[in-house]
Amino acid sequence: MNCAISGEVPEEPVVSTKSGLLFERRLIERHISDYGKCPVTGEPLTLDDVVPIKTGKVIKPKPVHTASIPGLLGTFQNEWDGLMLSNFALEQQLHTARQELSHALYQHDSACRVIARLKKERDEARQLLADVERHIPAAPEAVTSNAALSNGKRAAGDEELVPDAKKLCPGISAEIITELTDCNAALSQKRKKRQIPETLASIDSLERFTQLSSHPLHKTNKPGICSMDILHSKDVIATGGLDTTAVLFDRPSGQILSTLTGHSKKVTSVKFVGDSDLVLTASADKTVRIWRDSGDRNYACAHTLNDHSAEVRAVTVHATNKYFVSASLDSTWCFYDLSSGLCLAKVSDDSERVDYTAAAFHPDGLILGTGTSQSVVKIWDVKSQANVAKFDGHTGEVTSISFSENGYFLATAAEDGVRLWDLRKLRNFKSFLSADANSVEFDPSGSYLGVAASDIRLYQTASVKAEWNLIKTLPDLSGTGKATCVKFGPDAQYVAVGSMDRNLRIFGLPGDQTANADDDSAQDS
């Protein structure tokens, strides 16, 4: 009797209890392990369903067809024919797979074209809607009623003016100027005695920074983080997004504390007010909002400020934590009282019309720096609201500015890169070429400088004549090729980066290296 698979006399015969067929043991066991069924009948078959048959030792005769040269040639010819047939079948399968792939690629290309066309039509419709809204004036009655009813709006009396009328500002009083001057004197004296904290991350630590985590904080339909700030005392990060929301994120726990909703367009700037429970947000909807923690991390809008007539690009808080400034594309910047939300002064430059795109207070509080879309950086005396200096040299819109902790240097970012300015001699002493620089930031100790562009670069600060060395270049892992903001964490132990996707990324030392880095810093000190 022959094996039902090989057709030869089996050396170890077994029989199937289901079909009664005879098989070579090694062949049927391999077939069952691969397919789990009978090779002849196709019925389910397991190893328990085959029973070995005891037979006497049989010496198989030598096959006649391999005993001669013609027989061997015939065998080789059969093998060659089988190989050719198998190769032909494979070629047929390859041809079919290529046709299916070509069809799938054609469908994908068609889908991409349809999506692109729909996006273009959507953008055109939005633009038309925006143009219509711009040319339809809002009714004064509606503005007044909304101001009285909407959460966080100022009193109705503040909104009773005709829309085109210029709001009157009381100005910065002598008492406020005295308060600002006293704050400046105290901070200047304190700064002379400052020391670099021993817990500050070392240069060696920054060289080993890598991505530690990535947190999707904003919506997927409008991805993009426009602005960021860090509350160092609590290690809480605030981000403003294209999705019209601001998110408060607790970095140690990795949890979202609160989502601030209320703006109708992208949040262009977000700032914490000292260690208080206040948060400021500016938006392309022409408003600034003051948010207050009403308990259990539930932030409510305390004031909505409507003093600008165009997109508000930046907010910056004074060192007293009682006042702040907003900068707008309407060619003005406003000085506010935080507690009341009252605009004390609205300042514009009568000598030339410029659109303000960035703003920052000097650490001592009596100087305000502003960037413009006309590539000019302007320095203002806060007490007199006079323009005391102007820096030219950038190409394109100034996207970000930052004062060093010692008050000597100003860093500005624009489309052509980053420039460093000496505020004592009012000149540019160094430039970093980095196309489309979106953000520049000194760390709170003034030891490091971060630049966000197509990648993230960390520099060691130095003097005017010394070299500002590049410490580390971090890649933009968002895939968008545009890092929009960079901030140093407490003691520069990590770097937070926002990009044009919805993720907040944290770069720092891996957990197993942090302790070693601290030990090295202790030994160096």
Task: Please count the other Cβ atoms lying within 10 Å of the Cβ belonging to residue 120.
Answer: 10
Is residue 292 within 8 Å of 303, Cβ to Cβ? Answer: no
Is residue 486 within 8 Å of 456, Cβ to Cβ? Answer: yes
First to last CA, the chain: 90
> What pLDDT is attached to residue 58?
60
> What pLDDT is attached to residue 137?
53
Split at pLDDT 50, 70, 90, the class of 134 is low
Using the predicted structure, report yes or no on whether residue 515 has a pLDDT greater than 80: no
> What pLDDT is attached to residue 188?
83
Using the predicted structure, report yes or no on whether residue 511 has a pLDDT greater than 80: no
> What pLDDT is attached to residue 150?
41
How, if at all, do strands 13-16 and 22-24 pair? antiparallel
Is residue 37 within 8 Å of 13, Cβ to Cβ? Answer: no
> What pLDDT is attached to residue 517?
44
Split at pLDDT 50, 70, 90, the class of 286 is very high
The two three-digit tokens of residue 511, written as one number? 């957990």
> What pLDDT is attached to residue 57?
67
Instruction: Report DSSP letters for 209-261, one per residue.
Output: -EEEEEEE-S-SSS--EEEEEEETTTTEEEEEETTSEEEEEETTTTEEEEEEE
Split at pLDDT 50, 70, 90, the class of 65 is low
Task: Report, as an integer, the average pLDDT of 314-328.
Answer: 95
The two three-digit tokens of residue 506, written as one number? 């944290």
CA distances from 109 to 113, 116, 150, 480 (A): 6, 11, 47, 21
Pairwise pLDDT comparison (144 vs 361), residue with the higher score: 361
Instruction: Report DSSP letters for 328-388, one per residue.
Output: ETTSEEEEEETTTTEEEEEEE-TTS---EEEEEE-TTSSEEEEEETTS-EEEEETTTTEEE
> What pLDDT is attached to residue 512?
45
Using the predicted structure, report yes or no on whether residue 498 has a pLDDT greater than 90: yes
How, if at all, do strands 427-432 and 236-241 pair? unpaired
Split at pLDDT 50, 70, 90, the class of 63 is low
Using the predicted structure, report yes or no on whether residue 159 has a pLDDT greater than 60: no
How many Å apart are CA 510 and CA 208, to the nearest integer?
9
Helix or strand run (H / E) with residue 512: helix 511-524
Split at pLDDT 50, 70, 90, the class of 404 is very high
Task: Report, as an integer, the average pLDDT of 278-295.
Answer: 92
The DSSP letter of residue 154 is P
Split at pLDDT 50, 70, 90, the class of 64 is low
> What pLDDT is attached to residue 136?
64
The DSSP letter of residue 155 is P
How many Å apart are CA 11 and CA 57, to the nearest integer?
8
Using the predicted structure, report yes or no on whether residue 7 has a pLDDT greater than 90: no
> What pLDDT is attached to residue 290?
94
Task: Report, as an integer, the average pLDDT of 340-366.
Answer: 91
The topology under which CATH files domain 13-60 is Herpes Virus-1 (3.30.40)
> What are the pLDDT digits (tens) for 202-215?
999 999 999 999 99
Using the predicted structure, report yes or no on whether residue 47 has a pLDDT greater than 80: yes
The two three-digit tokens of residue 412, written as one number? 């500005």
Domain boundaries, the chain: 13-60, 184-508
Using the predicted structure, report yes or no on whether residue 147 has a pLDDT greater than 50: no
Task: Report, as an integer, the average pLDDT of 468-489.
Answer: 89
Task: Report, as an integer, the average pLDDT of 264-269.
Answer: 94
* Top-ranked range on mean pLDDT: pick from 8-17, 46-55, 313-322: 313-322
Using the predicted structure, report yes or no on whether residue 143 has a pLDDT greater than 80: no
Just give the CATH number of 184-508: 2.130.10.10
Residue linked to tokens 């409008």 = 222
Average pLDDT, the chain: 86
How many Å apart are CA 208 and CA 204, to the nearest integer?
7
Is residue 429 within 8 Å of 421, Cβ to Cβ? Answer: yes
Using the predicted structure, report yes or no on whether residue 410 has a pLDDT greater than 70: yes
